[in-house]
Structure 1
Amino acid sequence: MCHGVTISYVSRQVHLPYKTVERIYYDLAEQEINKVESSPDVLVLMKLLCAKDMFMKPLLQT
């Protein structure tokens, strides 16, 4: 329900305090982030980015 709208809009629509909706939003967002971070594709991408960073640092320091 929060996609594309503000937390205050949702809180008015569902008649709940702003802080309650905010807490629910951040709890759900954290769950989604944890799902994405543990995805095999994301883990491979993170390893590639770290490897690229390790390779690029010496080149950038010259």
Structure 2
Amino acid sequence: MKTVDFNEVKRQEAQSRMAAARKARRSLQAAAAQQRRASLVGDGAKWRITNFKQVARAMSKWA
């Protein structure tokens, strides 16, 4: 099983946010679609990896 590198997770997260921002700038409809997509999993800020230990602890309870 491949271990998850914190820096790699943060890099992917940043790329995802930038891609979403680029798509949202195209039009109001694109921005609304991005907002709906982000809302499907709840508060986007809550699920960003800012405290890796806290997130890992929460994810370990899912299994």
Shorter-chain TM range is 0.3 to 0.5
Q: Which has the higher helix share?
A: 1
Q: Which structure's relative contact order is higher, taking Cα pairs within 8 Å and 6+ residues apart?
A: 2
Larger gyration radius, structure 1 or structure 2: 1
Provide TM-score, normalisation by structure 1.
0.39
